[in-house]
Structure 1
């Protein structure tokens, strides 16, 4: 009966989703909200899930960046320390 509520109601747990799945779900929510054809209550639920998905994606990106910062090698191929991922060489 409430077929439009499946995006937030029966969706998988965010913690169980891969980064790619979470990003795709977030993009789908954005599209639904941009169309503007969902009821207000469902829009609020979609927005809340979208914010949770955004936060989960950001946390995974931050963790990936931290891992990359740890991987720094010298000219000889040996680890020489760390530096921020986006720092100039």
Structure 2
């Protein structure tokens, strides 16, 4: 799961420079699903908002800003998932 989220995060980051609205829409859609799966409600809501902006054909500047704003929360969520996975693999030891 962390790898899928990391792939979507990287895809989102690459799609902002140069701006690729089709790729942004695709990655935001994937993030809606993945964030929902792990219960990351805030990230899921941000991805829904971004996806809605893309479907409405909002101006690129706020779309890019929204995509960039998702990077830090995504990094944090991915780190937490990796930490939880490591704890499970190590029998609770970190």
Q: TM-score, normalised by structure 2?
A: 0.45
Q: Using CA pairs under 8 Å that are at least 6 residues apart, name the structure with larger relative contact order, 1 or 2.
A: 2
Q: TM-score, normalised by structure 1?
A: 0.46
Structure whose residues are more often helix by fraction: 2
